[in-house]
Amino acid sequence: MKHVLITGGAGFIGSNFIHYLLRIEPGIHVINLDALTYAGSLENLKDVADDPRYTFVQGDICDTEFVGELLKKYEVDTVVHFAAESHVDRSILGPRQFIETNIMGTFSLLEAARKFWLQEKSLPLENVRFHHVSTDEVFGSLAPGEPAWTEETPYAPNSPYAASKASSDHLVRSYGHTYGLPFTMTNCSNNYGPYQFPEKLIPLIILNALDGKPLPVYGDGQQIRDWLHVEDHCEAIHLVLKKGSIGSTYNIGGENQPANLTIVETICEILDEISANDNHKPHKNLIEFVKDRPGHDRRYDMDTHKISGELGWRPRHTLTEGLLNTVNWYLSHPEWVSAIRQKQEYKGWLDANYKSR
């Protein structure tokens, strides 16, 4: 990896991965392509903006010609594709954008890479890689007692978001099989950590609790998820890029499966302990059960034996440690929180999603 194009690098996971790459790969050049939609913010990358190894480009991944020009200009040898619409609730209220970004955007990137790497043969084929970042939600939902998903589990997406990601996964595989495009893919579980846009469960609960606002919990709160700290995710992707087998898919999970209600209660307990001069203790009194999400998947669980056995990866963060670190990060970055909350689109979204529940 010398010249790496990161799509969606101003978002939550993408920005964390850029920080990780610049820290661990001193000779790298990172090109961050981001459309700066609601969830992308250059606030996430202020501390690397002046690094000569980092270049930001604002643009749309659906513009194949534009992407192709970037690949040529910077002689890109590696694409790491994070850019996606990723919130299930948003996909239920407005699925079209998910189809356009997640399916057509991935198609556009694949076409640009195929032309630059395979047709024009601009770089040695053994030196290029298209890495696609996907989700565990493509596998559907597990019943109690069912074994965890492996890389061989058939896809059964249940939301417009999951269906759009499943479609993009199939496209990537097809380009590998049909055209010989060198690719790897990872399917990750629920991420959490620094810079996460506060529409997602963990930052939403942290910030609402600090403000004494209701802590919305869907249904009975017993939905099971596997929680992966974003730093562990970044380390796993880097390892796959360096050592993963071409054409292979790897599951990445945090190796824990608490109920959503347990996550919310744990955050409340952390805030009770570390928040000084807080008039909202005990924070669990703010929990409010709301109408469940339509078609809400009940349980996710990832089998990570493949990446552990082949590449030696295991998550470093325990959930308790990771949640404590995450709470402390939001408490210590009030300027970032303030900048994100001022986005009108964020305020409108909270009203649209929660006021009617």
Please give the positions annotated as active site: 136-137, 161
Q: What is the largest CA-CA distance in the chain?
A: 64
- CA 261 centroid distance within chain: 21
Instruction: Give the Cα separation of 210 and 174 in Å (integer).
Output: 47
Mind giving me the DSSP string for 296-338?
---B--B--HHHHHHH-------HHHHHHHHHHHHHT-HHHHH
Bridge-based pairing of strands 215-218 and 78-81 is: unpaired
Q: Which residues lie closer than 8 Å to 282 by C-beta, 6 or more apart?
A: 268, 272
Helix (H) or strand (E) holding 348: helix 344-354
Instruction: Give the Cα separation of 267 and 206 in Å (integer).
Output: 7
Instruction: Give the Cα separation of 233 and 134 in Å (integer).
Output: 12
Q: How far is CA 87 from CA 166, 199, 353, in A?
A: 15, 8, 11
Which SS3 state, helix, strand or coil, does residue 10 take?
A: coil
Angle at 340 between CA 160 and CA 320, to 5 degrees: 75
